[in-house]
Amino acid sequence: MTITDDFLATARQVLTLLRAPQVADHWDDLSALPEFGVSGLAGHIAYQVLPLPGMLEAPAEDVPTVPLMEHYARAGWTELDVDSEFHTRIRDGGEHVASGGHADLCDRFEQTVAALPELLAAAGNRPVRMPHWGPWAVLLDDYLPSRVMEFVVHADDLAVSVGVDTPEFPRHVHETVIDLLSRLALNRHRGIDIVRAFSRGERAPQDITAF
């Protein structure tokens, strides 16, 4: 399995969750995430896919291409408070994406995922840049694992919010996500604390979260 295969398979599992009737039933409720509504959370999840065709079809920009971990360091959002301008903009963006309602969001998500295999196959490992990023790009093979991580983390948030089982993603998908989260956690915690969390419960710290 390639990272492209994993990304597409994970997106399809997320679509099944998004289409769950419980998501529609709780559309206007608060989610399990602070300050996020269920609709906005669903919109944020969908946004991990919706801009990608435009990103792949756009000419490469004259900006530096940086490794994924440098992207996160430059973006700096992992250290920002939930009430920061950045996170407020993310929540507002999710609500905007979802403003057409549950069925509309699911349909657009499904149509975009259906178009992506051909676009991704033609793209190779080109640089891509999200519209709201700073003046840099990452390679597609670095970008897709970051979207898989967003899918897996927020699928759990959404499932918990509406009272359904969290999707059971394949082991190799979790390996990708855990690898990325572990590397991000090293930006915030001592390495030995992360090692202890995995190997020595009696000495493990209470928090090794990546963000």
Q: Region 108-128: what's the mean pLDDT?
A: 97
**Residue ranges covered by each domain of the chain:** 3-167
pTM summary value: 0.92
Using pLDDT thresholds of 50, 70 and 90, give the confidence band for residue 172.
Answer: very high
Please check whether residue 93 is in contact with residue 47, taking contact to mean a CB–CB distance below 8 angstroms.
yes
Q: What is the pLDDT of residue 77?
A: 66
Q: What is the pLDDT of residue 130?
A: 84
- The C-alpha atoms of residue 126 and residue 17 are separated, in whole angstroms, by 30
Nearest to 120 by CA among 209, 9, 203: 9
For residue range 15-56, list pLDDT tens digits in order: 999 999 999 999 999 999 878 999 999 999 999 999 999 999
Q: Looking at domain 3-167, which of 1.20.120.450, 2.170.120.12, 3.40.50.2000, 2.30.30.100 is its CATH number?
A: 1.20.120.450
Using pLDDT thresholds of 50, 70 and 90, give the confidence band for residue 209.
Answer: confident
Q: What is the pLDDT of residue 85?
A: 67
For residue range 50-104, list pLDDT tens digits in order: 999 999 999 988 999 999 999 998 887 666 566 666 667 878 888 999 999 999 9
Q: What is the pLDDT of residue 204?
A: 77
Q: What is the pLDDT of residue 95?
A: 92
Query: Which phi and psi (to 5°) does residue 40 adopt?
Result: -65, -35
Per residue, the 3-state secondary structure of the chain, as one string, reads CCHHHHHHHHHHHHHHHHCCHHHHHCCCCECCCCCCEHHHHHHHHHCCCCCHHHHHHCCCCCCCECCHHHHHHHHCHHHCCCCCHHHHHHHHHHHHHCCCCHHHHHHHHHHHHHHHHHHHHHHCCCEECCCCCCCCEEEHHHHHHHHHHHHHHHHHHHHHHHCCCCCCCCHHHHHHHHHHHHHHHCCCCCHHHHHHHHHCHHHCCCCCCCC
- The C-alpha atoms of residue 20 and residue 87 are separated, in whole angstroms, by 26
* Higher-confidence position of 6 and 194: 6
Q: Region 102-127: what's the mean pLDDT?
A: 97
For residue range 176-207, list pLDDT tens digits in order: 999 999 999 998 889 998 899 889 988 878 88
Q: What is the pLDDT of residue 82?
A: 67
Q: What is the pLDDT of residue 205?
A: 83
Considering Cα of 121, then 122, then 125, then 131, what sign does the dihedral take? negative
- Residue 139: beta bridge partners? 127
Question: Would you say residue 157 has pLDDT above 90?
Answer: yes
